[in-house]
Amino acid sequence: MKRTKVSTLLSTPALIGTEVEAKGWVRTRRGNKHVQFVQLNDGSTINNIQVVFDMNLFSEDQLKPLTTGSSLRVKGLLVESQGKGQTCEIQAKEFEVYGSADPLAYPLQKKGHTLEFLRDIAHLRPRTNTFGAVLRIRSALAFAIHKFFQEKGFYYLNTPLITASDAEGAGAMFQVTTLDVENPPRDEEGRVDYSADFFGKHTSLTVSGQLEGELGATALGEIYTFGPTFRAENSNTPRHLAEFWMIEPEMAFYDITDNMDLAEEFVKYCIKYALDNCADDIRFLEQMYDKGLTERLNFVVNNDFIRLSYGEGVKILEESGKKFEFPVHWGTDLQSEHERYLVEEHFKKPVILTDYPKEIKAFYMKQNEDGKTVRAMDVLFPHIGEIIGGSEREENYDKLMARIEELHIPMKDMWWYLDTRRFGTVPHSGFGLGFERLVLFVTGMTNIRDVIPFPRTPGKAEF
Amino acid sequence: MKRTKVSTLLSTPALIGTEVEAKGWVRTRRGNKHVQFVQLNDGSTINNIQVVFDMNLFSEDQLKPLTTGSSLRVKGLLVESQGKGQTCEIQAKEFEVYGSADPLAYPLQKKGHTLEFLRDIAHLRPRTNTFGAVLRIRSALAFAIHKFFQEKGFYYLNTPLITASDAEGAGAMFQVTTLDVENPPRDEEGRVDYSADFFGKHTSLTVSGQLEGELGATALGEIYTFGPTFRAENSNTPRHLAEFWMIEPEMAFYDITDNMDLAEEFVKYCIKYALDNCADDIRFLEQMYDKGLTERLNFVVNNDFIRLSYGEGVKILEESGKKFEFPVHWGTDLQSEHERYLVEEHFKKPVILTDYPKEIKAFYMKQNEDGKTVRAMDVLFPHIGEIIGGSEREENYDKLMARIEELHIPMKDMWWYLDTRRFGTVPHSGFGLGFERLVLFVTGMTNIRDVIPFPRTPGKAEF
């Protein structure tokens, strides 16, 4: 007999009255000597199916192994449920225990656990309601991202993870090596001889695929990356991971306005996809962690994003009369408190700021006529502040070179990137979205370690 | 005026007779003093749109910058084409050059280039027909993979890239570190002190996400990974990369037969998706590189895969009378020549071999009753041999432990993996597909360095 998933059993009225087989894990068992109820979950949905054991058919001994966390196969009649909140349930006819879970050893007993505790058992936490919900939403968002770009004719481009270049300067890097670190080969001057390393030179893990993304866009037109990136920063905060996933679209022939249009459409599409496809999981997280979750998601989906310049934004902040922890004036990098003030208090809408001072932005951003600002854009959200950062890119070879020299970026790392401006350069734009930021926003979780299956942070690389 | 992509211009008859704007790169320009023809490509398709310049409207000087590789914006009337093989063309009214491409410096002139040469300019090769086609097919295959699994209710799981465990033993690993390799901190015995490293211990880049995938499957039911994996093997062959992408589905409650069914359906779906969505690109590669390409793709899509045991396969090979480079008998690992003989000459169908000797397979595979074989499966294809490897997993704690001890796998790395067998263990299965193997098969390319944008191999980490 073919097993039916719990999600199907609960959503297919036509199955009621038929014999079905379910497989899954016991969440709870309760009852008396006449009847026992098992809540069975198989991961396909946050909802359990109730399995009813008529104790005239089964003995106490038979049911004894059905403790929380144990696994079984059960066959029986699917019937409409009498109980509140259940659509249907299985009247057990026969069952088989696959694996037990010793109640004294299995850490996920019925009682609630702190998120901190669950982080230490990240290998088991996907079995909880919370992490089941988060990981299903994460999966749906990942698919929404691919679907959005593919339907628009973008090509998925895999940029390299191991890189010999560190020109982007987005953060501290992890070194990748096959040298014997205990006793590396050394050259005549006693320095480590990287010509003996796997790639014949010093290599690191990438901090961004953007520069390679531009190579793709100036050939294929519109590309997006979606892959892991790394930062070796010793930041033990709820917002930082050493290993995280980034989405970086890059588009030939897009100016900053096209770029903003795309970013707004993109992020609304992803959130709407989650609302449409993960209703049960979002509802659970809303009830457990974040009462305003659905409202905040709809707030983003249903509002036009306000667009204004960094300068205008700073003026609003200066005139707000509000006391900020970090003082703000033209030239300062905005903090989360400033971004959230603009979004949550001033405009009451998501905001896109443009034309930032060039000093606080990357070398490759297109320089404005004023000589002071660049065509950067940051998309600001309630609750989390910046969710997307991007820009139109400087496509003029001479202007780009001047900026590279000004910032002393080593040319040896840049020749291939500059070729995009030497040969058939075009106006182009792109942006980056930290995937975990989006998952944080959509799940309402507050610690980034709780929205990736196996978080990597200083001192932590378990599992 | 809004730009229209070349792919849209060529496939939208309703646009004929209207004024359009195209943007792209010049592939070639030819003509005489009366009329000039530019082949314009924007990466959206392998096909160019022809732009016709009436030299009564333009001067030779104006058109001079339109060399191969230069970029422009052009506006004009879209008309049915007179020329052979063109559906429509643009009669230029006005144009603007974005960027030139000095014919003396730009390496991608009209003449053909060897794949070896193009590998050295991997930053520009996506601009060629060949790599445009390969990268568009690669993108389509990536999406097909997500679509297939998502539609089946699988959840996409991101397993970690940086890992402190090396239990899988699938190959040599790259070390990841933030220690100063010139002068690392040392403990009292003079050994490198990894407690001072970023993660407080020795870490490496993953060779497989499978073990973590099993953690996901025993919670969410059916998961798949799709991410980069790494092998620090000094193999300079057309089949090896140091950094490549893997797809690893893992399914609770699947036995080896379910696993084979899924693998066959999966790989057929992906190939069919490419045939349906990348017809122009596949046709180009077929003409240029591999006359039998479409036939081979249809061969896989249209045939039931033959299923037999390793033992039966070996018998066929032994009795074939064929002289193989590597002798074959029960117990040997099969070589590509053996696999291809079974597929191409004996069965003339794709083949799935099962029940391999346990000595040549991984520790986690389910042990058969015979004590000699395990429930492994390899999917074998024409042209390339093994494309998928998988197995039912050993779900019995004691049997798995015995194998781990037999193979001296360090327990310190295994406790979290073993917890899946301690708590609610279930029958489960999974397989792995090297993404570049699939792209090789579908594009007909013969060197794996030509199906990934920026290949990493010994001595090579450019761009």
pLDDT tens for each residue of A42-89: 999 999 999 999 999 999 999 999 999 999 999 999 999 987 777 899
The answer to whether A203 faces chain B, any CB pair under 8 Å, is yes
Q: How far is CA B403 from CA A7, A46, A442, B374, in A?
A: 36, 35, 43, 12
Q: What is the CA radius of gyration of chain A?
A: 27
Evaluated on CA atoms A130, A131, A136, A139, the torsion sign reads positive
A99: chain B residues, CB-CB within 8 Å: 395, 421, 423-426
| Closest approach of A330 to chain B, Cα-based (Å) | 33
B456 contacts A123? CB cut-off 8 A: no
Q: How far is CA A247 from CA A109, A393, A431, B250, B291, in A?
A: 37, 17, 8, 25, 37
A159: chain B residues, CB-CB within 8 Å: 453-454
Residue A83 has a CB neighbour count (10 Å cut-off) of: 10
Specify the pLDDT at position A394: 98
Specify the pLDDT at position A138: 98
Pairing relation of β-strands B49-54 and B88-99? parallel
| Closest approach of A320 to chain B, Cα-based (Å) | 39
Q: Round to whole Å and give the CA distance between B451 and B437.
A: 9
Specify the pLDDT at position B324: 96
Across the interface, which of B153, B161, B463 has its CB nearest the CB of A212?
A: B463
| Per-residue model confidence as pLDDT tens digits over B229-261 | 999 999 899 999 999 999 999 999 999 999 999
Q: Round to whole Å and give the CA distance between B329 and B313.
A: 10
* DSSP assignment string, A374-433: EEEEEEEETTTEEEEEEEEB---HHHHHHHHHHTT--GGGTHHHHHHHHSS---EEEEEE
Structure tokens at B251: 């399914």
| Closest approach of A268 to chain B, Cα-based (Å) | 20
A159 contacts B43? CB cut-off 8 A: no
Helices A129-151 and A279-288 pack at an angle, to 10 degrees, of 130
Average pLDDT over residues B363-369: 96
Question: Is the separation of the CB atoms in B175 and B202 below 8 Å?
Answer: yes
Specify the pLDDT at position B86: 72
Residue A286 has a CB neighbour count (10 Å cut-off) of: 18
The answer to whether B276 faces chain A, any CB pair under 8 Å, is no
Q: Which of B241, B46, B6, B278 is nearest to B142 (CA)?
A: B278
Residues 6+ apart with CB under 8 A from B135: A155, A157, A216, A220, B126, B453
* DSSP assignment string, B361-414: S-TTBPBPTTSSEEEEEEEEETTTEEEEEEEEB---HHHHHHHHHHTT--GGGT
B200: chain A residues, CB-CB within 8 Å: 458-460
Specify the pLDDT at position A86: 72
Q: Annotate B49-97 with three-state secondary structure.
A: EEEEEECCCCCHHHHCCCCCCCEEEEEEEEEECCCCCCCEEEEEEEEEE
Pairing relation of β-strands A155-156 and A222-230? parallel
Question: Is the separation of the CB atoms in A257 and A244 below 8 Å?
Answer: no
| Closest approach of A324 to chain B, Cα-based (Å) | 34
Q: Round to whole Å and give the CA distance between A261 and A380.
A: 14
| Closest approach of A138 to chain B, Cα-based (Å) | 8
**Mean per-residue pLDDT of chain B:** 96
Question: Is the separation of the CB atoms in A50 and A30 below 8 Å?
Answer: no
H or E segment to which residue A29 belongs: strand A19-31
Question: Is the separation of the CB atoms in A25 and A41 below 8 Å?
Answer: yes
Any idea how long chain A is? 463
Average pLDDT over residues B77-96: 91
B156 contacts A174? CB cut-off 8 A: no
Across the interface, which of A105, A139, A416 has its CB nearest the CB of B463?
A: A416
Q: In a 3-state reduction of DSSP, which class is residue B297?
A: helix
| Per-residue model confidence as pLDDT tens digits over B294-316 | 999 999 999 999 999 999 999 99
Across the interface, which of B69, B161, B163 has its CB nearest the CB of A228?
A: B161
Average pLDDT over residues B360-373: 96
A158: chain B residues, CB-CB within 8 Å: 138, 228, 245, 452-453
Tell me which amino acid residue B363 is: F
- Measured torsion, CA atoms of residues A249, A252, A258, A262, in degrees rounded to the nearest 10: -20
Question: Is the separation of the CB atoms in B430 and B389 below 8 Å?
Answer: no
The label of the residue with tokens 């390793």 reads: B310
The answer to whether A151 faces chain B, any CB pair under 8 Å, is no
Q: Which of B80, B18, B19 is nearest to B49 (CA)?
A: B80
Specify the pLDDT at position A411: 76
Question: Is the separation of the CB atoms in A360 and A338 below 8 Å?
Answer: no
The answer to whether B156 faces chain A, any CB pair under 8 Å, is yes
Q: Round to whole Å and give the CA distance between B89 and B38.
A: 10
B454 contacts A159? CB cut-off 8 A: yes
Q: Number of CB pairs < 8 Å for A and B?
A: 322
Residues 6+ apart with CB under 8 A from B402: none
- Spans in chain A with pLDDT lower than 50: none
What DSSP designation does A460 have?
A: B
A191 contacts B215? CB cut-off 8 A: no
Question: Is the separation of the CB atoms in A219 and B24 below 8 Å?
Answer: no
Specify the pLDDT at position A170: 66
Pairing relation of β-strands B155-156 and B222-230? parallel
The answer to whether B236 faces chain A, any CB pair under 8 Å, is no
Pairing relation of β-strands B155-156 and B162-163? unpaired
Phi-psi map region of B266: left, alpha, beta (phi>0 left; psi -120 to 50 alpha): alpha
B182: chain A residues, CB-CB within 8 Å: 191-192
Q: What's the ipTM?
A: 0.97
- Measured torsion, CA atoms of residues A266, A272, A278, A284, in degrees rounded to the nearest 10: 110
Evaluated on CA atoms A282, A284, A287, A290, the torsion sign reads negative
Residues 6+ apart with CB under 8 A from B112: none
B197: chain A residues, CB-CB within 8 Å: none
Tell me which amino acid residue B242 is: A
Across the interface, which of A135, A242, A460 has its CB nearest the CB of B220?
A: A135
Specify the pLDDT at position A168: 63
Q: Where are the beta strands (DSSP E) in B178-219?
A: 203-205
Chain B 252-271, residues with CB within 8 Å of chain A CB atoms? 252-253
B219: chain A residues, CB-CB within 8 Å: 43, 124, 126-127, 131-132
| Per-residue model confidence as pLDDT tens digits over B160-195 | 999 998 766 667 999 999 999 999 999 999 999 999
Evaluated on CA atoms A169, A170, A171, A174, the torsion sign reads negative
B212: chain A residues, CB-CB within 8 Å: 123, 453-454, 463
Across the interface, which of B71, B176, B453 has its CB nearest the CB of A157?
A: B453
A182 contacts B219? CB cut-off 8 A: no
B216 contacts A153? CB cut-off 8 A: no
Asked if the model's pLDDT at residue B40 lies above 80, the reply is yes
Helices B293-302 and B256-277 pack at an angle, to 10 degrees, of 140
